[in-house]
């Protein structure tokens, strides 16, 4: 059943009403109920942000993206302005003082900007203020200003005019927004729910056409859900779920609050499946499986939002997971993940702020057949021990890396064999030369290189003959990687099996392959953040773990091991992995062969 059968035009016309979820900051009876600990922590976080000067935005820095591909020169001051306004509004609701000049100055500065669209999202060079472009952060800015009006009453007429001209009118007037999905629905991603979550807020709080916005949003969200796998998986990765699945929740939550009824939307099977993805991708603590562009520690997690999603879908296990994610009930997130609305929802939820932390439920295993991701841990309910995440899928996913057949292995929550993730975004990241970036290439994932070839991009380059087997004692994924490589690689078959054995315990990766002709360049790669040692044909890893290697090619012993260090100069990658990553190469010259890599405890382990 589509969302349009829940939020029908007739129901929206009958039930959608003026929506004012919070009173003004002057209502101290309401706002003084925020727990003291939460209040003090948020004020402490807001203080340093408020003390920073208002940054300058110039046409020259805007043009840097077109000139040399640099996104950060403009984005850093752009987000710093919004951070400073968020901090001022949060301070106002927590203290009752709305006289802070930062509120007035912040509203003024944002309303004076030539565009709210980031340079990386703006067609052409410098923006035309008479032809505004609605991107993620134009919509975010509209919602931020709408919350500011609701809570402080500052500059209401100016804000209504700017939001209408820059965002709401263009949204309703044009059908060619890519994120609407009217032209190419197959490639919808986080943009659709993320933008609509903010458009709904702005329209309901500021607009005279909220019914039109709501109906248009419901139709777009249905197109988005049509391309979301039935298993609820997020092929953009766990980090982007917080602006994909989480924003879907915000859309439905806003409509539900404004209508007084969800009309069954939160119990649609696909919506319920979407809610569970962060738990399926969780390794331990703040560490998550990071296939695609996201970092292994997602920066924008909001446990309260996940908790409310779990309550709406009736998922007790997911409620426990959300409670375990963070002992703090609310936190001020800055930068691209900053959201005033998410902070307000957390600090005004009496049930949430009264809850004590919980232990992670740590499900034993999850298989997402439509997404093509298997996750499994050594012991249910325990984030210690061995952990395996393995990927099938294809090479045309959103924020895609060429990584069919790759995997992540962790021990006691510490990543051992890893996906590097992505560096700081530049023009190249989403341009035609994306796969010249080393982090996007299969040669820097835990994948083979038949005849020295890397995987190719595109939906046709995918895993075949995929099957999974799950039991109490083991979890296993089997697939053929041949189609992930270009025809020039000459791969007849490359069958890989990945298995977590809970009895042993160990993780085993078995490859069996045949090439059209012999090649001296065939190899298999393993990526690790800790410098490995090699002894007696065995790879020694931290925590007393080893990788036993057994390779035979054309009837002869093979698998010579070499290690290379890659020095990291990207600040985002360095923040995750430190100064270096290491690539282990197993040489497999010949035409047909087999390779066994077994991760287990070394001799002497107790």
Residue 76 has pLDDT above 70, yes or no: yes
Residue 537 has pLDDT above 90, yes or no: no
Instruction: Identify whether 606 is part of a domain.
Output: no
Same-domain check for residues 456 and 496 = yes
Evaluate whether 258 touches 19 at the Cβ level (below 8 Å). yes
From the number of C-beta atoms within 10 Å of its C-beta (0-12, 13-18, 19+), residue 261 rates as middle
Instruction: Identify whether 541 is part of a domain.
Output: yes
CA distance 556 to 487: 26
Residue 330 has pLDDT above 80, yes or no: no
Residue 37 has pLDDT above 60, yes or no: yes
Residue 357 has pLDDT above 60, yes or no: yes
The CA–CA distances, whole Å, from 73 to 57, 171, 261, 299 equal 9, 28, 44, 21
Give the other-Cβ count within 10 Å of 373's Cβ: 26
Tokens for 192?
């659709």
Overall domain count for the chain: 2
Evaluate whether 211 touches 259 at the Cβ level (below 8 Å). no
Residue 138 has pLDDT above 90, yes or no: yes
221: nearest Cα among 269, 188, 198, 266? 188
Same-domain check for residues 337 and 369 = no
Same-domain check for residues 59 and 151 = yes
Residue 604 has pLDDT above 70, yes or no: no
Q: What's the pLDDT score for residue 605? A: 60
255: nearest Cα among 216, 224, 229? 216
Evaluate whether 408 touches 415 at the Cβ level (below 8 Å). yes
Same-domain check for residues 393 and 482 = yes
Instruction: Identify whether 360 is part of a domain.
Output: no
Instruction: Identify whether 549 is part of a domain.
Output: yes
Confirm whether pTM is higher than 0.75: yes
Find the mean pLDDT for residues 234-256.
Answer: 96
Same-domain check for residues 347 and 382 = no
CA distance 55 to 16: 40
Instruction: Identify whether 359 is part of a domain.
Output: no
CATH number for the domain spanning 18: value is: 1.50.10
Picking from 99-103, 168-172, 497-501, 581-585, which range would have the lowest pLDDT averaged per residue? 99-103
pLDDT tens digits, 61-73: 999 999 999 999 9
Q: How many CA atoms lie within 13 A of 399 on its CB side?
A: 22
Instruction: Give the domain range for residue 431.
Output: 365-601
Same-domain check for residues 49 and 157 = yes
Alpha helices in 228-302 (DSSP H): 238-241, 245-259, 269-275, 277-280
Find the mean pLDDT for residues 222-241.
Answer: 95
Residue 579 has pLDDT above 70, yes or no: yes
Same-domain check for residues 46 and 102 = yes
Q: Which of 354, 388, 411 is the last residue of a domain?
A: 354
Q: Which residue has the higher pLDDT, 271 or 1?
A: 271
Find the mean pLDDT for residues 277-301.
Answer: 94
Residue 371's DSSP bridge partners are none
- Residue found by looking up tokens 């360095």 in the block: 574
Find the mean pLDDT for residues 221-242.
Answer: 96
Instruction: Identify whether 579 is part of a domain.
Output: yes
Evaluate whether 147 touches 340 at the Cβ level (below 8 Å). yes
Question: Which residues make Cβ contacts (< 8 Å) with residue 429, sequence separation at least 6?
Answer: 422, 437
Q: What's the pLDDT score for residue 99? A: 85
CATH number for the domain spanning 567: value is: 2.70.98.70
Q: What's the pLDDT score for residue 583? A: 98
Percent of the chain with pLDDT over 70: 99
Residue 329 has pLDDT above 80, yes or no: no
Q: What's the pLDDT score for residue 458? A: 96
Find the mean pLDDT for residues 151-157.
Answer: 93
Instruction: Identify whether 211 is part of a domain.
Output: yes
Same-domain check for residues 400 and 264 = no
Evaluate whether 190 touches 398 at the Cβ level (below 8 Å). yes
Q: Which of 328, 354, 380 is the last residue of a domain?
A: 354
Average per-residue pLDDT for the chain: 96
State the DSSP string of 205-226.
Answer: HH-S-HHHHHHHHHHHHHHHHH
Same-domain check for residues 372 and 315 = no
Confidence band, pLDDT 50/70/90 cuts, at residue 606: low
Strands (E), 251-324: 282-284, 287-288
Same-domain check for residues 473 and 555 = yes
């Amino acid at each position: 059943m589509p969302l349009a059968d829940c939020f029908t035009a007739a129901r929206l016309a009958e039930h959608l009403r003026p929506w004012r979820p919070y009173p003004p900051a002057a209502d101290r009876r309401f706002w003084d109920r925020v727990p003291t600990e939460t209040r003090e922590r948020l004020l402490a976080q807001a203080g340093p942000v408020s003390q920073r000067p208002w940054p300058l935005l110039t046409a020259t820095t805007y043009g840097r993206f077109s000139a040399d591909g640099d996104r950060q020169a403009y984005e850093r001051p752009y987000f710093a302005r919004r951070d400073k306004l968020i901090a001022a509004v949060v301070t106002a609701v927590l203290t009752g003082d709305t006289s802070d000049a930062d509120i007035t100055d912040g509203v003024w500065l944002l309303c004076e900007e030539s565009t709210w669209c980031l340079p990386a999202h703006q067609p052409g060079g410098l923006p035309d203020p008479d032809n505004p472009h609605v991107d993620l952060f134009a919509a975010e800015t509209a919602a931020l200003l709408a919350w500011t009006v609701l809570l402080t009453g500052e500059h209401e007429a100016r804000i209504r005019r700017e939001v209408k001209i820059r965002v709401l009118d263009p949204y309703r007037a044009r059908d060619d927004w890519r994120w609407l999905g009217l032209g190419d629905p197959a490639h919808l991603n986080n943009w659709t729910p993320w933008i609509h979550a903010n458009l709904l807020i702005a329209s309901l709080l500021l607009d005279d056409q909220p019914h039109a916005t709501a109906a248009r949003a419901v139709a777009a969200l249905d197109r988005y859900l049509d391309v979301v796998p039935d298993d609820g998986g997020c092929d953009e990765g766990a980090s982007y779920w917080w602006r994909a699945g989480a924003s879907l929740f915000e859309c439905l939550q806003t409509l539900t609050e404004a209508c007084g009824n969800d009309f069954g939307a939160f119990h649609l099977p696909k919506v319920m499946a979407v809610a569970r993805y962060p738990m399926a991708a969780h390794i331990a603590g703040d560490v998550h499986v990071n296939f695609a562009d996201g970092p292994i520690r997602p920066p924008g997690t909001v446990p309260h939002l996940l908790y409310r999603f779990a309550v709406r879908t009736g998922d007790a296990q997911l409620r426990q997971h959300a409670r375990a994610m963070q002992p703090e009930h609310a936190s001020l997130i800055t930068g691209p993940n900053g959201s005033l609305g998410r902070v307000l929802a957390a600090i005004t939820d009496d049930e949430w702020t009264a809850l004590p932390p919980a232990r992670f439920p740590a499900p034993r295993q999850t298989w997402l057949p439509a997404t093509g991701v298997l996750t499994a841990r050594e012991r249910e309910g325990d984030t210690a021990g061995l952990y395996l995440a393995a990927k099938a899928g294809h090479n045309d996913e959103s924020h895609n890396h060429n990584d069919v057949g790759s995997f992540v292995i962790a021990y006691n929550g510490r990543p051992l064999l890893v996906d590097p993730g992505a560096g700081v975004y530049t023009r190249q990241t989403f341009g035609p030369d994306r796969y010249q970036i080393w982090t996007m290439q299969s040669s820097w994932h835990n994948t083979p290189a038949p005849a020295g070839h890397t995987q190719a991009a595109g939906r046709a380059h995918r895993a075949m003959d995929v099957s999974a087997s799950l039991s109490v004692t083991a979890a296993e994924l089997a697939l053929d990687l041949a189609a992930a490589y270009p025809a020039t690689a000459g791969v007849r078959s490359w069958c890989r099996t990945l298995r977590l054995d809970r009895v042993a315990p160990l993780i085993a990766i078995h490859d069996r392959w045949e090439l059209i002709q012999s090649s001296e360049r065939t190899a298999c790669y393993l990526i690790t953040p800790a410098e490995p040692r090699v002894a007696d044909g065995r790879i020694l890893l931290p925590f007393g773990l080893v990788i036993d290697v057994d390779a035979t090619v054309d009837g002869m012993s093979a698998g010579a091991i070499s290690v290379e260090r890659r020095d990291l100069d990207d600040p985002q990658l360095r923040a995750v992995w430190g100064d270096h990553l290491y690539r282990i190469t197993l040489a497999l010259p010949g035409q047909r062969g087999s390779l066994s890599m077994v991760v287990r405890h070394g001799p002497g382990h107790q």
